[in-house]
Chains A and B, each alone.
Chain A
């Protein structure tokens, strides 16, 4: 026991949670394996650099004590909302959507920072009051969630707006808001769907939903992606076709093989067994995250830890759901596994906050 105690304290002093780190590294290894299969050495190399940057960001953020976040959250949130407005007004258009803000030396997406700051802001607000959160506070918190979500949805970036909204809503749920209000809100959302469908959604987004409902209607057009993805997953079978032997992905039937549809490649090559292994790793990380949230010392840190880990789960669910034909294709990556720079940095920054919460406790409080 002495040796484990010593080990733990080393990680503790570095402000790193070894269990989370192990889980994340396992996901990264899977990511690199699949990326090599679809993109060869070059893609592997590019992802390794990105992962290195993201891991560094995580470790740096883990060093910052949670009190600091509490102090700066409102200011950062405000700046972020202003930046989102700025993006709409003068953003850089990439792939037909305005998401990037050109700062001269670099371009970045304010919506990525919003993913991180949203749960912090809502947690900051509701933890000012006693829990469970009551109606009035809950309503104001809802406004804090809705404004940035609409700004992002307008860019248009449906995937990110879903993630931002859910990260805020999770805080509200965790803060113990009455089930009655949750039921009412759900009803309101259902009522909102027709408005969304007819007034807010763009043609291509409507197309994606229609495609989901009946992909076979247009097998070479809009339904092509979903059909090919389902064929890839299904033809993987129990054990998969083997590494680098997935014909669906290697013969380029699959779209976006290295980003949004990487789960299909993985399922094709490693089969149902591989899928269960991957989902187990995700569940272990999520379980550990929830445990950390419950161990946290005050309401603020509990809420943000809980929200970060639940949002992480939303990524997993939405991505796997969309590539396996359960949800519309909204452009959410498979967390840590998909190729991509900013989303990985944001995700690992979130884990940095989790680790910071877990390793910056004041020991004098014992209940």
Chain B
């Protein structure tokens, strides 16, 4: 220890000094504590009677009146989340004459279960005798009637009406709306952090997921206050003043109930996701993730067993596949890949490549197979998209390299949040050299790029990302931001947020867009197109792209045989499309897990949704939209 000594240190003198000062302080502390005790003695002993009287006469109490939560409607004004009255039975113990015998009579009147009785007993043991205890949470109308008739026999017992959130369509909207549930410790901490404790006084529920969570601030509202006169046991005698709460604002979604239910029905027992979106403004018309579950379970408080079941189910129903499901995009991204190749002059409209059914990395023996074992022969870019030729894109992506592919795909929103108004979203993975270095501590190999060329390998996307990318493609590079919210409705006004549309992808020539889009139309309209069988007879024009994503890696030179592989390892079927081709209005994304080929399984579902959309559109023209 280095010390700048001004004089020789005298330790015992320093020690004695410290002792002296400590004694001074201790005496000081005793003196100050003496003041505190004197003051407390004055308050508690001398003025006890005064304060006791004041405590008993303490009559003015401020109570918080929680606001009603805003409702949620679909675009046609159909109610998707509402507040229903529920009745609960309460008792204030010290208001009753004979609590024990009253409870026994009540038990026979309403057939209370053993569970409820023991629950009540433990609650009453731990609670203050002047506080209300809930006996039964949700009474049926019959029970309410039964009790009301006999109410005069039960002094101190009363029925309380509360509003409870209810989702009339059950599991059809879970992954859009989310749900509200009881405020827990973590929510409380967040509320306190935001300094909103006063705003949540008297509120027991908070949005936990989906729209209910994202727009919590709008839906919740402002509590009111009631100044009341109470007796010394807290019973309200009369109300002195009342500021009414400001109810939460209602929300209208872009979701169309018919398209949503249709999409859910089409998904059936499949695991997967369907999204319908307006290509012009990003309004999400339908967003389905299957399997789903009943959100009402969470409002009333889900049982541990049931929750465990949902949590551990192999089908993972709690995951919102539309925004959190990570899938290899497979061939659905070939149009974007072609755009980049054209713009970078790696290929031209006329470039033709011979496909013998495989492709070999130059200067190596590494062989990549085309899905068509015997090859497509001589293919150009149109043919390669229409028939989803792998070899063409192996070659193209090899020439492009990951350093050009990755930033370009990010412009289309891959590897980024889509901006959808749901907080539960993953960015999925748009791989790059740096990404692989940090993730695996390995360099990027050429072979990695080849897989990226057909949307396999490390690349994963979410269905909402695919939807956004398809919409941007249909709008020639305009940035389309998906959103579920249509408008916010309050008594005074209706606010419809506007979304800015910018040009996110700029190419050297408009012609490149024509090539990619015409090829996508060829997928559905040309005889050789992969989705011709499904869309050949459609009364509207469609541009689409199928995708069949490998879930497990197939070894070199090995052939995929669906029958030999267990169901969970079967290919994912995907299809993205927009219509009409000339002036794109609607985008559809279909992702089916382990369902097999994209054109054979996913495309027919997209067809039915387009049919439904155009049918509804023409009928909507004749019947006026239901007013809100």
Contact = CB atoms under 8 A, between A and B. Distances in A.
Do A and B associate with each other?
yes
B6 interface: yes
B185 interface: yes
Nearest to B41: A272
B58 to A, nearest CB: 6
Interface stretch (B49-57, B282-290, B367-375, B532-540): B49-57
Interface stretch (A77-85, A150-158, A245-253): A245-253
B365 interface: no
B32 A317 contact: yes
Between A230, A237, A321, the greatest number of chain B beta carbons within 10 A of the residue's beta carbon is seen for A237
A132 interface: yes
B35 interface: yes
B12 A94 contact: no
B575 to A, nearest CB: 40
B128 A236 contact: no
B131 A279 contact: no
Nearest to A230: B43
Contacts of A131: 14, 17-18
Nearest to B58: A253
Contacts of A367: 11-12
A176 B18 contact: yes
Nearest to A250: B128
A42 B185 CA distance: 8
Contact of A174 (B7, B21, B40, B50): B21
Contacts of A220: 60
B1 to A, nearest CB: 7
Nearest to B1: A70
Nearest to A236: B44
B10 A251 contact: no
Interface of B is mostly: helix
A326 B41 CA distance: 13
Given A233-B40, A252-B61, A130 B51 contact: no
B48 interface: yes
Interface string A3-44: 000000000000000000000000000000000000011100
B52 A237 contact: yes
Contacts of B234: 247, 250-251
B39 interface: yes
Interface in B490-546: none
Interface residues of B, number: 53
Contacts of B142: none
Contacts of A207: none
A306 B22 contact: yes
Contacts of B15: 294, 302
Interface in B51-75: 51-52, 54-55, 58, 60-61
Interface stretch (A56-64, A110-118, A285-293): A285-293
Contact of A94 (B18, B52, B130, B193): B193
Contacts of B185: 42, 46
B58 A248 contact: yes
Contacts of A176: 14, 17-18, 21
A209 interface: no
A200 interface: no
Interface string A228-254: 101111111110000011011011110
A283 interface: yes
Interface string B1-43: 1011111011110110111011001100110110111011101
A238 B46 CA distance: 10
Contacts of B230: 251
Interface in A92-147: 94-96, 107, 128-132
Nearest to A248: B55
B17 to A, nearest CB: 4
Given A96-B195, A129-B4, A299-B14, A272 B45 contact: yes
A247 B232 contact: yes
B47 interface: yes
Contacts of A283: 29-30, 33
Given A173-B21, A173-B25, A275 B44 contact: yes
Interface residues of A, number: 63
Interface of A is mostly: helix
A130 B47 contact: no
A313 interface: yes
A167 interface: no
Given A251-B234, A306-B18, A234 B32 contact: no
B233 interface: yes
A52 interface: no
B44 A271 contact: yes
A312 to B, nearest CB: 10
A324 B39 CA distance: 8
A237 B45 contact: yes
Interface string A147-186: 0000000000000000000000010011010000000000
A367 B14 CA distance: 13
Contacts of A42: 185
Between B15, B29, B37, the greatest number of chain A beta carbons within 10 A of the residue's beta carbon is seen for B29
A238 B45 contact: yes
B195 A95 contact: yes
A334 to B, nearest CB: 12
9 contacts: A46-B185, A70-B1, A174-B21, A234-B51, A234-B55, A247-B55, A248-B58, A250-B128, A324-B36
Instruction: List the 10 closest A-B pairs by CB distance, nearest first.
Output: A234-B51, A235-B55, A272-B44, A234-B43, A251-B234, A235-B51, A176-B17, A237-B48, A131-B14, A95-B195
Interface of A: 40-42, 46, 67, 70, 94-96, 107, 128-132, 170, 173-174, 176, 220, 228, 230-238, 244-245, 247-248, 250-253, 267, 271-272, 275-276, 279, 283, 286-287, 290, 293-294, 299, 302-303, 306, 310, 313, 317, 320-321, 324-326, 367
Given A232-B55, A237-B45, 15 more contacts: A42-B185, A129-B4, A129-B5, A176-B21, A233-B43, A233-B51, A247-B233, A251-B58, A272-B40, A283-B30, A293-B18, A294-B22, A302-B18, A313-B29, A324-B39
